[in-house]
Chains A and B, each alone.
Chain A
C-alpha cells in the first residue's frame, strides 16, 4: 500500500521502519529537512519537506494515490487538519494521533465528521496496556483486536478443573458476558465451538470476557492467580489519570504520588476514590510510609525515564509487587531488558504498534466487503469485522434461530460504540459492526456466515 506519514518524530520513524518491513511504500512529510535527510539515509523512504497541512505538499506526496494517511505530528490540531485535507484530497483512510483529553472525549463526533478511520491517544493506549498487565495474570496470553475494543484471552484448562467435560450450552452458569471463541485440542486441532462442544482438561481455549470478571472466573477454574487489589502509581500525569480511572472502576484501590500541589488537587477532584499523596516519589521514607512493601503492583510514570527505572529497581528490592515502568525513549534496549524493572511501557511505541495493527487489518481486507481482518493464533484463525449496511437475511432474527456454517462464531456486536457479547436472544441490526471468528479463510460478506 502507499502510505503517507506526516511528522517524523519517534512515532513516525518507528512506524515508517516497521511498515517498510511489511513492504509498503512510505512517504514522509516533515518541516525539518535535516530530519528527513537522516531518516531517508537509514531506511528506504522518500521525504517531502514542508507543512503537512498544505494541500500542495500533500499532493506532492501523492495523496491522490495513497491508501492511508497517518498524522503523528506533535500537535493534535495539525493532525486533525492534515487528515481532513487528506480525506478530501485523496479519499484515503486517515489515522490521527489525538492526545488532548478534551478532543479525545469528543472523538466519536470528530471521527464521524472528519471521516477519520482511527484516532489514537497514546496516553490512553498506554493506560489500557498497563491495565491489562495488571489485571491479566502473567500465565495468560492476550490478543487485542477490533481497534483495541476486544480482548481475547488464551489459557489452558488445568487438570481437575470444573470445566473438564463441560458442555458449552451449560457454560451460562459461569455468568453472562462470557464467550468461548476458539478451542485448541491437545492434538492442536482448532475448533470454533458451538453449544454441543464439550471441553476437556488440557484444551487451550480463547475467551472474550470483560476484564473485571477475569479474576473471579479464573479462581473458579482453578487457575491460581495472584489477585491485584492495590496499586501504587508514582507520578500523576495523564497516563496516571487514565489508568487510575480504569483501575478504580475495576475495584482496585489506587494510590498516586504526585509532587505538584495543583496537580494533586486536580487529581483528587477528578478521582475522588483514589488516594492522592503529595510528595516526591523518589523519597524512600515517603514510599515506606505509604506502604510500598505491601503493594501488589507498582507503576512508575514520572516524566523522567531515569527516575522511573530507579524507582522500579527500588520497588523490586523492597517489595514483591508487580512492576511496570514507563520509558519514553527506549535506547540501550539490551541493557534495559536485563535489569529487573518489570514490564516496560513506551507510549510512543505503543502508538506505532496500534497503528501497524490497523494497517495490517486494512491490508487484509483490501478488495472485499470486509471492514477489517485480524489474524489470530499464528494466522490459523481469522476474526473478521463487517458493517451491516442494509436489511438482509441475517438482520432482525434472534441469533439462536440463525443457521450458520460450522466453524463460524459471531463473537461481538458493536452497536453505537458499545460492545455486546451476544447471546441467543440478541439480533443483528442495520448499522451494527459485527465481529465473527472463523477458521474458514476469505469471508467476503456477512451473508457468507449462513449455512
Chain B
C-alpha cells in the first residue's frame, strides 16, 4: 500500500475543500452574517492541513486498485470531518455528531437531516449545506481530477472507479482528465439551466442556487421546514424535471453532445429509467386518486415524489405518509431501485437491476435448455463476467449491511417501518423515509450510536459499499 500517495491526494482534497469554503463565506459577506467567520477559520484549517500533506510529491507514484478504493473512502471521511466544523464551531448545530451527520448527509447527497427547524440556520450555513450536495454529487475526486493536473497514468482511473456509481465505470474520452472535465461541464450546465428557470419563477437568487445544488446533486436539503411544498407549481415542475435529468446516466448527455444519437438511444438503462418512472407515477396517481380524488393535483405530486425518491433526491411537496399502503409500498420499492449508473443519484442503480433480471432469465433458460449457451448483453454489448460477478457481490454486501444496520437500529424501540425506511433512506442516499423519518419528520430522535450507523450507511451507499468495507477489513492494513 502506498501511504504517501494516499496522503498526498487527501491533502489536495482538503485544500480543495478549503477553497470551496470561500463560497459560503461570500454568501455570509452578502448577508452580513457573523457566523461566516467560522468559514474563514475552517478554510484555513483545510488549506493548512492540505498544504502540509502536499509539500512533497511522492516519487513513487505507482497506484493500485486497493489504494484507489482506500483513498476514496478516507477522502470522504476527511472532507466530512472538515466540512462539519463550520456547523460545530458556529454553534448552529451544537453537537459534533449531529454536525457530522448533517454534512455526511450533504456530501453523500442523502438529504436526511437531524434539524427540527431548518429555518433558524443562517444563510451561509444553508448555502454550505446545499453546496455540499453539489460538491459530493458528481464526486469530489472527479472534481479534483478535472481541475488539477494530477499527472500519473491510468492509475487515477481507480479513483474515478471507486467514486463513480454504477457496476462498470469507464471513460468517455481517452484522457481521464478530459472525461472529468466533460462530466463536470455537463453537470454545471444542468445546474445553471435550472437556476435560470427557477429565477423565471420569481425565486430569489439564493434560493434558486441552493435548490439547484440540491436537485442537480440529487441531494434534497431544503431551505424551509416544509421542503418544497410552499413553492409554486411552476417551481415544483421545474424541480421535477431537473431531478429526473440528474438521475440520467451522464453518458447519455455526452453522446448527445457528440451527436452520437444512435448510441444515446441504445442505452437500455435510460429507457428502463423512464419506463419505471412513468409506470410508477401512473400507478400511484390512480391509487391515490381513487381514494382521495383530485386527479391532476395528485398526478402533479406523484410525479414530483416519484422523481424525488427514484433519483434519491428527497425533496417533498407533501407528506406521502398519508398515501394508501400500496403507494407507500411502491415508494419503498423504488427507493431501492434508485437512479441510473453514472448519474448523481444513489440507490442500487437500474443497470444492476437489468443485470440481475438478465441473470435470472439466463438461469431459467439453462433449466429449460441445459446445454444452451447465452451471452448477456446490454446496449448491444457483452456484459463481462467480471461486471456480473461484482454486481452479485454488491447485492450480497448490500443486503448484509442493510440487515446489520436494521438490527442495530431496532434496539431503539421505534416501529419497524421507521427503522426499515431510515436504513433504506440513508443507504440509498434518499433522505426521507416513512413514518417518523417521513418527509414531515427528521432523524433527530436517533441516539448517537445509531447516528454513527446511519453515517456509515450513507457513506457506504454513496461509495457503493466496497470502499467502506475495504476500510474496515483488517486484511487491508496488513502488509
**Which residues of A are in contact with B by a Cβ distance under 8 Å?**
2, 20, 25-27, 33, 39-46, 60
Contact = CB atoms under 8 A, between A and B. Distances in A.
Nearest to A21: B153
Closest 3 CB pairs of A and B: A43-B153, A25-B174, A46-B174
A387 B154 CA distance: 40
A26 B152 CA distance: 15
A42 B154 contact: yes
Interface stretch (B84-92, B155-163, B181-189, B471-479): B155-163
A33 B384 CA distance: 9
Interface of B: 65, 152-158, 170-171, 173-178, 263, 384
B174 A45 contact: yes
Contacts of B263: 60
Nearest to A26: B174
Given A41-B154, A41-B157, 11 more contacts: A2-B174, A20-B153, A40-B157, A40-B171, A43-B153, A44-B154, A44-B176, A45-B174, A46-B170, A46-B173, A46-B174
A42 B155 contact: yes
B215 to A, nearest CB: 31
Contacts of A40: 154, 157, 171
Contact of A42 (B153, B171, B177): B153
13 contacts: A2-B174, A25-B178, A27-B174, A33-B384, A40-B154, A40-B171, A41-B155, A42-B153, A44-B153, A44-B157, A46-B170, A46-B171, A46-B174
A20 B152 CA distance: 11
A2 B174 CA distance: 9
A2 B178 CA distance: 13
A26 B173 CA distance: 9
B158 A41 contact: yes
B267 to A, nearest CB: 14
Contacts of B178: 25
A360 to B, nearest CB: 19
Contacts of B175: 25, 44
A45 B155 CA distance: 11
Contact of B174 (A33, A41, A44, A60): A44
Contacts of B155: 41-42
A87 to B, nearest CB: 21
Contacts of B173: 25, 46
Contacts of B174: 2, 25-27, 44-46
B390 to A, nearest CB: 13
B154 A39 contact: yes
Contacts of B384: 33
B258 to A, nearest CB: 9
A41 B171 contact: no
A40 B174 CA distance: 9
A30 to B, nearest CB: 14
Contacts of B152: 44
Nearest to A45: B174
Contacts of B171: 40, 46
Contacts of A41: 65, 154-155, 157-158
Nearest to B152: A44
A173 B175 CA distance: 57
Contacts of A20: 153
A226 to B, nearest CB: 42
B171 to A, nearest CB: 5
Residue of A25, A27, A39, A45 with most chain B CB atoms under a 10 A cut-off: A45
Residue of B153, B263, B384 with most chain A CB atoms under a 10 A cut-off: B153
Contacts of A44: 152-154, 156-157, 174-177
A161 to B, nearest CB: 47
B178 to A, nearest CB: 8
A377 B98 CA distance: 66
Contacts of A33: 384
Nearest to B177: A44
Contacts of A26: 174
A41 B384 CA distance: 16
Nearest to A42: B154
Contacts of B153: 20, 42-44
Contacts of B158: 41
Contacts of A42: 153-155
B158 to A, nearest CB: 7
A181 B466 CA distance: 63
Nearest to B62: A42
A374 B174 CA distance: 27
Residue of B157, B176, B384 with most chain A CB atoms under a 10 A cut-off: B157
A27 B171 CA distance: 11
A44 B171 CA distance: 10
B195 to A, nearest CB: 33
Nearest to B381: A49
Residue of A43, A44, A60 with most chain B CB atoms under a 10 A cut-off: A44
A25 B181 CA distance: 15
A59 B157 CA distance: 24
